[in-house]
């Protein structure tokens, strides 16, 4: 399935590079979370987008739940497309642009898939949500080389891009969220063919809008057969996600320096600009219900104070900007309403309830002010980053994935030494 390969690659190479540092946010509605396409509320979406624009978040990354948009491999649900178009209309009204993420896919510790994308298998790292419940008995079909899955993905690209073609509320398209947490390509060539096919279809149907791929730190820690070098052949920009408290080789759980480091390594590997598409911090709730003493011990991360969250965001934004990233996007828009806490993924990953820039009632956390302050301080002018990178001396891009984790740790030690010496 390579009928539009060269077209997709040529358009990616020719797409104009950004002129300003982009600020954005990853979005799920506070009261509906991953269920918003099933229970869509256009008024809530409009209020949320207006609020985000007020706090300088101008790109809103949304996620197309695969089961909601493509319940059958040969059919895209018209009702979901209509809701998507309405969300795009809401974006225009608020002065923001949407980044739809297709094939979703992995989200907040759960893999969300329609039944036709599953097959019998052993226990998986992440539970699968399908048909209204979690189930560990199934594994995801390898959508990088499964013919039926590839045909279905091409259909999703075509119908979504056609429904939104020419819409002023669309920034571009994302081909997935941390997709290697769902399934790993059998080999690099399968990943390249998949990228070529999907990027090419989206480019043709959208009129050439940018296409990216939401990669994360584990794609650097391990060889998952999809390298930044490969993504860079077809995508307009590269993306990276990073959270220091998830990385066991980072000593300080809130070491914001690891974010520009991960971005710089991604840029070095792929030789293309990088959007830091996800970073954030969990916060201790200031609204009831509150947790009893010791209850937070079962959380995957601590819950930090709002003041700590604001400090972390301010430092991260400035470091990412200084390192030459083309933008930064918060994870995520809002804390989720307690009525959702008993439903996946918030029941199995309770820390995910509290990543928001806004509380579950819509009021801003202190961290939300960091975004306004950052715009006032920088004017969103891009920086080139420093050309002097001694911490990369002697490193070979094509040898990085021979021992990626060891290489990453060694390079980070050198990066910190260089940063401290530079001041």
Among 25-39, 42-56, 130-144, the minimum mean pLDDT is found in 130-144
pLDDT higher than 70, residue 2: no
Say whether 240 sits in a helix, a strand or coil.
Answer: strand
- Strands (E) across 153-237 are located at 173-177, 211-214
Both tokens of 246, joined, read 């998830």
Q: Specify the DSSP class assigned to residue 363.
A: P
* Rounded Cα–Cα distance for residues 136 and 126 (Å): 8
- Number of Cβ within 10 Å of residue 216's Cβ equals 22
| Most trustworthy range by pLDDT among 18-32, 254-268, 386-400, 407-421 | 254-268
pLDDT at 211: 98
Confidence category of residue 376, pLDDT binned at 50, 70, 90: confident
Tell me if 154 sits within 8 A of 58, measured CB to CB: no
Indicate the pLDDT class of residue 10, thresholds 50, 70 and 90. very low
296 phi and psi angles, rounded to 5 deg: -70, -10
Q: Residue 353: which residues within 8 A CB-CB, separation 6 or more?
A: 335, 336, 340, 341, 346
Write out the H or E segment, with its range, that includes residue 274. strand 274-279
Banded pLDDT at 386 (limits 50, 70, 90): low
The C-alpha angle 81, 86, 88, rounded to 5 degrees, equals 95
Report whether 144 contacts 185 (CB < 8 A). Answer: yes
> Please, what is the average pLDDT of the chain?
93
Distance CA(99)–CA(83), nearest Å, equals 15
Taking the C-alpha atoms of residue 317 and residue 218, their distance in angstroms, rounded to an integer, is: 22
Q: What is the pLDDT of residue 136?
A: 81
pLDDT of residue 387: 65
What HEC string does 49-65 produce?
HHHHHHCCCCEEEEEEE
Cβ atoms of residues 69 and 76 within 8 Å: yes
Predicted local confidence at residue 295, as pLDDT:
84
Parallel, antiparallel, or unpaired for β 110-112 and 106-107? antiparallel
Peptide bond into 96 cis (omega under 30): no
Query: Is 60 exceeded by the pLDDT of residue 222?
Result: yes
Looking at residue 12, its pLDDT comes to 52
Question: What's the pLDDT band for 123 if we cut at 50, 70, 90?
Answer: confident
For the segment 78-87, the average pLDDT, to the nearest whole number, is: 98
pLDDT at 65 over 90: yes
pLDDT the model gives residue 19: 78
Tell me: pLDDT of 11 over 80.
no
pLDDT tens digits, 269-325: 999 999 999 999 999 999 999 998 888 888 999 999 999 999 999 999 999 999 999
Average pLDDT over residues 118-143: 88
pLDDT attached to residue 5:
38
H-run or E-run covering 408? helix 404-422
- Flag whether pLDDT at 7 surpasses 60: no
Q: CATH fold of 5-422, please?
A: TIM Barrel (3.20.20)
The confidence score (pLDDT) of residue 334 equals 98
Pick from 129-138, 229-238, 285-294, 373-382: least confident: 373-382
**Per-residue pLDDT tens for 330-349?**
999 999 999 999 999 999 99
94 backbone dihedrals φ, ψ, rounded to 5°: -90, -15
Residue 130 confidence (pLDDT) above 50: yes
The arithmetic mean of pLDDT across residues 171-185, rounded, is 96
**For range 148-176, the mean pLDDT:** 98
| Confidence check: pLDDT of 9 > 60 | no
């Amino acid at each position: 399935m390579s009928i539009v390969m060269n077209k997709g690659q040529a358009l990616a190479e020719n797409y104009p590079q950004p002129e300003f540092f982009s600020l954005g946010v990853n979005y799920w509605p506070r009261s509906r979370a991953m269920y918003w396409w099933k229970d869509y509320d256009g008024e809530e979406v409009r209020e949320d987008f207006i609020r985000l624009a007020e706090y300088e978040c101008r790109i809103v990354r949304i996620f197309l739940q695969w089961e909601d948009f493509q319940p059958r491999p040969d059919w895209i649900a018209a009702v979901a497309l209509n809701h998507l178009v309405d969300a795009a209309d809401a974006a225009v009204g608020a002065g923001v642009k949407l980044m739809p993420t297709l094939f979703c896919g992995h989200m907040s510790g759960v893999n969300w898939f329609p039944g036709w994308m599953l097959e019998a298998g052993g226990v998986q790292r992440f539970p699968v949500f399908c048909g209204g419940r979690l189930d560990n008995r199934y594994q995801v079909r390898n959508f990088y080389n499964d013919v039926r899955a590839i045909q279905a993905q091409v259909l999703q690209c075509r119908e979504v891009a056609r429904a939104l073609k020419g819409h002023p509320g669309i920034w571009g398209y994302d081909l997935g969220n941390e997709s290697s947490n769902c399934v790993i390509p059998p080999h690099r060539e399968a990943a390249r063919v998949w990228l070529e096919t999907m990027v090419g279809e989206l480019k043709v149907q959208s009129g050439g809008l940018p296409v990216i791929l939401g990669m994360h730190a584990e794609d650097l820690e391990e060889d998952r057969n999809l390298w930044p070098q490969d993504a860079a052949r077809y995508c307009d920009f590269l993306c990276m996600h990073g959270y220091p408290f998830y990385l066991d080789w980072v000593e300080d759980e809130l070491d914001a320096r690891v974010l520009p480091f991960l971005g710089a390594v991604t840029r070095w590997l792929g030789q293309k600009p990088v959007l830091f598409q996800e970073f954030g911090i969990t916060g201790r709730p200031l609204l009831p219900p509150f947790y009893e003493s010791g209850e937070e011990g079962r959380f995957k991360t601590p819950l930090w104070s709002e003041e700590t969250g604001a400090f972390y965001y301010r430092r991260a934004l400035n470091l990412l900007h200084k390192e030459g990233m083309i933008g930064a996007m918060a994870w995520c828009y809002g804390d989720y309403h307690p009525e959702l806490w008993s439903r996946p993924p918030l029941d199995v990953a309770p820390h995910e309830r509290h990543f928001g820039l806004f509380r579950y009632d819509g009021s801003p956390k202190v961290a939300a002010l960091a975004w306004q302050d950052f715009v006032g301080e920088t004017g969103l002018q891009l920086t080139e980053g420093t050309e002097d990178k001694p911490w990369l001396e002697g490193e070979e891009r094509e040898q990085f994935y021979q021992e990626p984790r060891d290489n990453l740790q060694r390079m980070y030690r050198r990066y910190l030494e260089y940063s401290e010496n530079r001041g």
